[in-house]
Each structure stands twice: as C-alpha cells, then as structure tokens.
Amino acid sequence: MAAERTQALLAWYREHGRELPWRGSSDPWAILVSEVMSQQTQIARVVPAWTAFMERYPTPGHLADADRAELVRLWAGLGYQRRAIHLQRAARIVDDSGWPTDVAGLRELPGVGPYTAAAVACFAFGVPVPAIDTNLKRILSRWNGEALDSSTLTAAAASELPHDAAAAWSQALMDLGAQLCRPKRPRCGDCPVSEWCADPTVYQPPPRQSRYEGSVRQARAATMRTLAHHGASTTAALAHHTGLAPERLEDAVASLLSDGSVVRRGGRLVIADT
C-alpha cells in the first residue's frame, strides 16, 4: 500500500507541485533562507522576500558581513526579526567553518530547529530523512487513522519515506497539505491518495497563537523597526516614534535586551551587531 501511495503522490507532485524559486536547488544557503522565512509566514509573502534577500545576500559570507540594521529593514514585513538575527549568526558560523551536512550538525546553527535541519539536510545534502512539519503530521495522521505525535509520528514518517526520492516526497506532502489536505475542509475528492487514507477527520490542530495586536511581539517589532530606521535611540525617542504606551515599550525593550537583539550603549538602545 505504501509503495502505491508514494507513486500516486509523486505523480501528482510532478504535475501539480508549486513552482517556488528555491525548488530544485541544492544550494544549502538558498534552502536555509527559504525555510527560515517560511516559519509562520505565508508562502505568497515569502517568495518576493526571498528573491530580494538572495539578491542582496547571495551567500552566507554576504550576510555575515552585513549591517544588522540593514538586515532588519530588509526583513520588514516578514515579522519575527529574531529569525533574521539568528540567520546572520548562522551565516557567520558557516562562513567561518563551512556547512555541517547532517541533521545533528545543522541543529547546532542558531535558530535551526528539528524541521529546518531535516529540510536542509534532505533538500541540500541528499540525506534521506523526513522533514516533519505540521502538514506532514496532519497527513500522516489521516493516513493512519489516528493522531500521531512524537515517536509515533517519527516512526510513521520513517516507514513511509522513499529513500531514493526523499526530497520530492517531503515537498510533495508540503504541497498536498497546502493545496488539498488542508486543516479544515480537505478536498478529498481531488486528492491523489484518498483511497489509501484511513480517516480524513483525524487531526489535532496546534494551539492557536496569541493575538498579535497589543502583544509583546507587536511591540518588539515596532521597536526593532524604529531602531533599524533611526539608529541608536533613547527610550523617550522610541516612545515618540513607536507610539507605544510606556509599559508596553518597557516590556518590549526588556524582551529584546534579554535575547540579545538590542544592547545599551551610552544610555541609548541600539540593534546588537553580534
């Protein structure tokens, strides 16, 4: 059953897979940037941002030497500026020491979690490992007729993965999840593998993210944007430019100082460059 399902899935992917500018590339930098940008961000927003980013920073070395404020400005619109900062820190390590080529080594890079490490290892270095994201979790749970998690999910993915087409299989599942096997109202009538699906109603959605409006995340983003455009600023200047209430600005600054995104210099706040 698994072999037939895989063949049907890959045949559908060859005809209906999304055309993304990093697809088909084995450049680990291009793939890492795409994966970091795609975290909690819609692909429609990622594509133009990725294109502009790769034009400005085509190699890890270009980003390693880049001005941090310029990087934050370029990242505007994607949110979660910490991703950009982690990416620059990873670029500096790669530029200095070269690319790790397995999952364990990639996990050591700043900001690289289990999924991203597996994706880069598989898509760039040909390691036959499944890139397990929410799409894959949802689809495999439906195929198996039970909510999979942790060890059961890993075992199911390993048993399904075709080692001679690992990258295409993972990318096919991403596209199947995005286009047909959606969290709500899956299009089972159009699904190429519906006959091998045990229960399309099986799916445990992840907890909903807290609201952005009024959150510390929003205040952090506003503070970082202001520092990127205006440079070193006092708290009073930040309050003026961001329009944030004092307690919200205080929480944002404390959070940014805690994770090293900003530092104090001479009584002013500035984006950290290390």
Question: Over the chain (274 residues), what is each successive 10-residue block's mean pLDDT?
Answer: 94 97 96 96 94 98 96 90 95 98 98 97 98 95 94 95 97 96 95 96 75 84 92 93 92 92 93 87
The domain over range 1-17+130-206 is classified in CATH as 1.10.1670.10:
yes
Q: Please name the amino acid found at residue 46.
A: V
The total of other beta-carbon atoms located within 10 Å of residue 134's CB is 14
- Of 215, 231, 219, 205, the C-alpha closest to 256 is 219
> What is the CATH class of 216-271?
mainly alpha
Token output for 217: 């995340």
Whole-number Å distance between alpha carbons of 165 and 213: 42
Map out the domains of the chain as residue ranges. Answer: 1-17+130-206, 27-125, 216-271
- Cβ neighbours of residue 242 closer than 8 Å, sequence gap 6 or more: 219, 222, 223, 226, 249
Active-site residue, selected from the candidate residues 15, 19, 35, 160:
35
- The model carries a pTM of 0.90
Task: Give the C-alpha separation, 87 to 84, whole Å.
Answer: 5
Q: What integer pLDDT is reported at residue 249 of this predicted model?
A: 92
Out of 1.20.120.420, 3.30.390.10, 1.10.340.30, 1.10.8.100, the CATH code matching 27-125 is: 1.10.340.30
Q: Enter the tokens of residue 109.
A: 């890079």
Helix (H) or strand (E) holding 271: strand 268-271
Structure tokens at 116: 């991203």
Q: Is 19 noted as a catalytic residue in this protein?
A: no
What stretch of H or E contains 268?
A: strand 268-271
pLDDT at 209: 67
